[in-house]
């Protein structure tokens, strides 16, 4: 990354968290006061030597005690300032970064399905955890050190200049080459650290395979192959880390050489100046102390480079997410409510394509009557799932419009849309909580009694009774304590209590165990009763039971009508689909 881009990221990162600037002047002021303590000691040394030790009347403990007392006071104040500064810094930065976590979290939820799907789950989690942590580590260690070091550099330069401009020139000349070398190395360092980060990413991927694919690796007896892949990744990472270490040490030691040159230069030139009467022993000694203060900042700057880059990289990844506009946005206050009562659906010449991808749906023009049930059928990839996503406004069409009871979806307030239109997704995702809490996810205020009623109304009372702790049974991570079919049952009850006017079902493709299947079908019949229902159907039974079947093929609606009527159209897509279904059940 170029320096300009890096600076740009940092600037935007800071702009993103304006809280970081709260009380910044105060924090910097405290840091400067803390620094004063560091410089106070060399100054005290100079004063003590020139006026106390080498004083006119020989060593004078009283004079020295006076200087030391004052310096101790300065030191105490600066230590206290250091405490206040660190506390402020942590409070301000953690508050700001906590806000950044929450904001990014919400933004990710606000992104459309399209964008959520294009990111891996793990990397979205990193946006609100690891990436923010990296910024925090940098702000609190590297950032403080850099800030203190810079202050130290400036303050000690000023003091040195006051003591002797000639010696200051000597010090600058001695460090000049070192600083140049360090700057040269910084570019190398940036690239080797980047390699380290990339390779640890690769390693993590390979290790993940050995965990997730453990069964397959064993079944095929290919552990040796995986071992080799891991070994290569482990060694690649180690080689990169060692290279980074070599570059970093070389760069660091050039500062060390600078310090040696500065010390000896100061001694030589200082002595020559002193012989001429332009220098006292105390001042020269103070200079030697100050040189050690001068070298640290330069070295710290190199040391913090990796963390700084990690932080910048973290910031950039967060910015990349925040920069994506929630393209399917809530019209909010400018939006309208859906009209009360059952909802009808109208697709007006709707087309959809994924950005840079082929057309998924084109020229879909449909009207669906309120309170009727519709089954959308078609082969995998025909566009029927896209149809469901457009209908629930998980995505917006590229062209045309979707209207509910005459109102364009894009104008409907989300609060109204989500309470009236509910989708039951394929995988029936459940949260790691109890059955009751999962259903309350839809309507938080429901009592246990009402929840039990809902199960009873859907004919699931005995199923609920069969659970180890009834409503309070924990469903496990992702609901995995339940079978696939049972998860769908709970998801269905969740949709039922939401009491929507338009229900969109995305049927699961995977097979469910037969006993659960029967319950599911029965419950489904009851849930759909009296509502406008659109089911993305994978089962023949669903299509047969629907008032109307809509056949999608290659992104177009090719047939529409009751099951029996469509079947009569010989050689039609639906007839073929039906034939293959039938073949299956024979």
Partner 1 sequence: MSSGTGNDVLLRGLRVLGRAIRAEPRLFIVSSLGSSLFGLLIVANSYVVGFLIGHVVTPAFAAHRVSSAGLAVAVAALLGISGLRVASIFARRLGAGFMQFRLQARYRRAVTRRYLSLPPEWHQRHATGTLLSNASSDVEAAFAPIAPLPFAVGTIVMLAGAMIALFVTDWVLAMVGVALFPALFALNYFYSRRMSPRQIHAQRMRAKVAAVAHESFDGALVVKTMGREADESRRFAVFVTELRDGLVAVGRLRGVFDPLMESLPSVGTLAVLVLGTWRLQNGAITVAEVISVAFLFTVLAFPVRAIGWVIGELPRSVAGWDRVQAVLSAEGDLRYGEGDLPGDGPAELRFDRVDYRYADGPPVLAEVSFTVPAGKTVALVGATGSGKSTIAALALRLVDPDSGSVSLDRVKLPDLSSAALARATALVPQIPFVFDDTVRGNVALDRPGVGDDQVWAALRLAQADRFTGGLPQKLDTAVGERGASLSGGQRQRLTLARALAGRPRLLVLDDATSAVDPRVEAAILGALRRAGTSLLVVAYRRASIALADEVVYLHQGRVVATGTHQELMDTQEGYRALVTAYEKGEA
Q: Which of residues 99-158 bind partner 1 (CB under 8 A)?
A: 101-102, 105-106, 108-110, 113, 116, 120-122, 124-125, 128-129, 133, 136, 140
- Answer for which of 18, 21, 28, 61 binds partner 1 (CB under 8 A) is 61
Q: Between 128 and 312, whose beta carbon lies closer to partner 1? A: 128
Region of 363 (left: φ > 0; alpha: ψ -120 to 50; beta: rest) is left
Between 7 and 469, name the residue whose CB sits nearer to partner 1.
469
**Interface residue with partner 1, options 143, 270, 378, 555 (CB under 8 A):** 270
Residues 74, 36: contact at Cβ < 8 Å? yes
Give the nearest distance from C-beta 354 to partner 1 in angstroms. 14
The gap from C-alpha 223 to its chain's centroid, in whole angstroms, comes to: 34
Among 18, 21, 28, 253, binds partner 1 (CB under 8 A): 253
| Shortest distance in whole angstroms from residue 574 CB to partner 1 | 15
Contact 490, 435 (CB under 8 A): yes
Are the beta carbons of 59 and 52 closer than 8 angstroms?
yes
Q: What is the 3-state secondary structure (H, E, C) of 315-326?
A: HHHHHHHHHCCC
DSSP single-letter state for residue 576: H
Count residues binding partner 1 (CB under 8 A): 171
Least distance between partner 1 and beta carbon 142 (Å) = 14
Of 41, 370, 467, 526, the residue at the interface with partner 1 (CB under 8 A) is 41
Question: Which of 64-72, 151-159, 350-358, 464-472 is the region at the interface with partner 1 (rule: CB under 8 A)?
Answer: 64-72
Interface residue with partner 1 among 50, 411, 432, 499 (CB under 8 A) is 432
Among 192, 217, 343, 375, binds partner 1 (CB under 8 A): 217
DSSP structural state of residue 221: T
Q: Give the span between the Cα atoms of 395 and 113, in whole angstroms.
A: 7
- Is residue 469 within the footprint of partner 1 (CB under 8 A)? no
- What is the distance between the alpha carbons of residues 395 and 388, in angstroms, rounded to a whole number? 9
Angle, helices 61-110/305-323, rounded to nearest 10 degrees? 30
Q: What does 407-438 look like in DSSP terms, one character per residue?
A: EEGGGB-HHHHHHHEEEE-TT----SSBHHHH
Count of C-beta atoms within a 10 Å radius of residue 87: 12
- Could you tell me if 234 and 203 are in contact, meaning their C-beta atoms sit under 8 angstroms apart? yes
Give the residue, chosen from 261, 312, 377, 567, that forms a contact with partner 1 under the rule CB under 8 A.
Answer: 261
Q: List the beta strands (DSSP E) in 309-358.
A: 345-353
By CB under 8 A, the residues from 498 to 527 that bind partner 1 are 498, 509-518, 520-521
As a whole number of angstroms, the distance between CA 159 and CA 33 comes to: 15
- Considering only 16, 43, 67, 350, the residue that binds partner 1 (CB under 8 A) is 67
Q: How far is the CB of 413 from partner 1 (least distance, A)?
A: 10
256 binds partner 1 (CB under 8 A): yes
- Which residues are paired to 348 by β-bridges? 401
Sites for partner 1 among residues 470-499 (CB under 8 A) = 477-478, 483, 485, 491, 494, 498
What's the CA gap between 219 and 185, in Å, rounded?
Answer: 49
Phi–psi pair at 549, nearest 5 degrees: -110, 135
* Residue among 1 and 155 whose Cβ is closer to partner 1: 155
Give the binding range for partner 1 (CB under 8 A) out of 12-20, 349-357, 439-447, 564-572: 439-447
Binding part of the chain for partner 1, among 21-29, 185-193, 534-542, 551-559 by CB under 8 A, reads: 534-542
If one asks whether residue 429 binds partner 1 (CB under 8 A), the answer comes out as yes
Residue of the chain from 539, 545, 554, 575 that contacts partner 1 (CB under 8 A): 539
Identify whether the C-beta of residue 557 lies closer than 8 Å to the C-beta of residue 550.
yes
User: How many CB atoms sit inside 10 A of residue 74's CB?
Assistant: 18
User: What is the 3 state secondary structure string of 502-537?
Assistant: EEEEECCCCCCCHHHHHHHHHHHHHHHCCCEEEEEC
The CA distance from 128 to 100, in Å, is 8
257/558 with CB nearer partner 1: 257
Residue 43 is encoded by which pair of tokens? 């100054």
**DSSP-derived secondary structure letter, 363:** E
Rounded least distance, CB 349 to partner 1, Å? 25
Q: Name the burial class of residue 340, with classes exposed (0-12), middle (13-18) and buried (19+) by CB atoms within 10 angstroms of its CB.
A: exposed
Q: Of the two residues 162 and 515, which places its CB atom closer to partner 1 in the complex?
A: 515
Which CB atom, from 129 or from 450, has the smaller least distance to partner 1? 129
Relative to beta strand 532-536, strand 548-553 is unpaired
| Tokens 């399905």, located at residue | 113
Considering only the stretches 85-93, 184-192, 399-407, 461-469, report the one whose residues sit in contact with partner 1 under the rule CB under 8 A. 85-93
Strands (E), 194-234: none
C-alpha to C-alpha distance for 316 and 16, rounded to whole angstroms = 11
Closest CB to partner 1 among 21 and 109?
109
Q: Which of 247, 442, 502, 527 binds partner 1 (CB under 8 A)?
A: 442
Question: Which x/- pattern over 543-562 shows residues binding partner 1 (rule: CB under 8 A)?
Answer: --------------------
Binding to partner 1 (CB under 8 A) within 317-376 occurs at none
Q: Which stretch binds partner 1 (CB under 8 A): 2-10, 15-23, 177-185, 223-231?
A: 223-231
Beta carbon of residue 451, minimum distance to partner 1 (angstroms, whole number)? 16
- In the window 380-399, what residues touch partner 1 (CB under 8 A)? 380-381, 392, 394
Nearer to partner 1, 2 or 509 (CB): 509
* Ramachandran assignment for 297, one of left (phi > 0), alpha (psi -120 to 50 degrees), beta (any other): alpha
Smaller CB separation from partner 1, 3 or 292: 292
- Binding window for partner 1 (CB under 8 A); candidates: 180-188, 205-213, 349-357, 452-460: 205-213
The residue (of 162 and 272) whose beta carbon lies closer to partner 1 is 272
The strand pair at 502-506 and 421-424 is best described as parallel
Please say which residue, 58 or 449, places its beta carbon nearer to partner 1.
58
Tokens of 271: 């002595």
Give whichever of 8 and 413 is closer to partner 1, judged by the CB atom: 413
């Amino acid at each position: 990354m170029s320096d300009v881009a890096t600076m740009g990221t940092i600037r935007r990162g800071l702009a993103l968290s304006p809280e970081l600037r709260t009380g910044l002047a105060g924090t910097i002021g405290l840091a400067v006061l803390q620094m004063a303590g560091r410089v106070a000691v060399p100054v005290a040394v100079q004063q003590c030597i020139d006026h106390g030790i080498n004083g006119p009347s020989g060593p004078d403990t009283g004079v020295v005690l006076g200087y030391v007392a004052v310096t101790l006071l300065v030191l105490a104040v600066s230590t206290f300032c250091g405490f206040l500064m660190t506390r402020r810094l942590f409070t301000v930065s953690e508050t700001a970064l906590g806000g950044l976590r929450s904001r990014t979290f919400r933004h990710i939820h606000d992104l459309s399905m399209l964008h959520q799907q294009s990111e891996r789950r793990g990397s979205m989690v990193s946006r609100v955890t690891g990436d923010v942590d990296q910024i925090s580590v940098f702000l609190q260690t590297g950032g403080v050190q850099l800030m203190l070091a810079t202050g130290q550099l400036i303050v000690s330069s000023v003091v040195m200049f006051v003591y002797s401009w000639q010696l200051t020139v000597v010090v600058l000349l001695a460090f000049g080459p070192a600083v140049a070398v360090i700057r040269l190395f910084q570019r190398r360092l940036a690239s080797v650290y980047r390699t380290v980060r990339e390779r640890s990413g690769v390693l993590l991927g390979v290790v993940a395979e050995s965990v997730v694919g453990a069964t397959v690796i064993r079944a095929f007896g290919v552990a040796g192959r995986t071992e080799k892949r891991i070994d290569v990744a482990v060694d690649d990472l180690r080689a990169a880390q060692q290279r980074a270490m070599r570059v970093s040490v070389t760069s660091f030691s050039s500062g060390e050489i600078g310090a040696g040159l500065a010390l000896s230069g100061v001694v030589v030139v200082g002595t020559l100046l002193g012989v001429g009467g332009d220098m006292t022993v105390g001042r020269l000694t103070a200079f030697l102390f100050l040189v050690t203060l001068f070298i640290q900042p330069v070295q710290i700057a190199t040391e913090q480079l990796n963390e700084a880059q990690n932080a910048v990289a973290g910031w950039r990844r967060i910015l990349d997410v925040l920069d994506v506009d929630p393209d399917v946005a809530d019209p909010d206050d400018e939006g309208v409510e859906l009209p009360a009562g059952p909802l009808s659906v109208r697709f007006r010449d709707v087309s959809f394509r994924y950005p840079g991808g082929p057309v998924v749906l084109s020229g879909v023009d449909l009207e669906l009557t309120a309170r009727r049930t519709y089954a959308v059928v078609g082969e995998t990839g025909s566009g029927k799932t896209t149809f469901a996503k457009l209908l629930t406004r998980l995505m917006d069409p590229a062209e045309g419009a979707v209207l509910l009871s005459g109102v364009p979806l894009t104008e409907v307030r989300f609060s109204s849309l989500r309470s009236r239109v509910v989708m039951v997704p394929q995988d029936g995702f459940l949260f790691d909580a109890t059955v009751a809490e999962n259903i309350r996810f839809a309507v938080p205020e429901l009592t246990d009694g009402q929840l039990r009623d809902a199960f009873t109304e859907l004919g699931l009372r005995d199923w609920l009774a069969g659970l180890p702790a009834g409503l309070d049974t924990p469903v496990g991570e992702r609901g995995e304590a339940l079978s696939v079919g049972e998860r769908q049952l709970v998801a269905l009850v969740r949709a039922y209590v939401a009491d929507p006017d338009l229900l969109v079902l995305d049927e699961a493709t995977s097979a469910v165990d037969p006993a659960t299947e029967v319950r599911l079908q029965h419950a489904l019949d009851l849930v759909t009763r009296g509502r406008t229902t659109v089911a993305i159907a994978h089962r023949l039974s669903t299509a047969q039971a629907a008032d109307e079947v809509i056949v999608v093929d290659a992104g177009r609606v090719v047939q529409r009508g009751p099951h029996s009527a469509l079947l009569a159209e010989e050689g039609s897509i639906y007839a073929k689909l039906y034939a293959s279904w039938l073949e299956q059940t024979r």
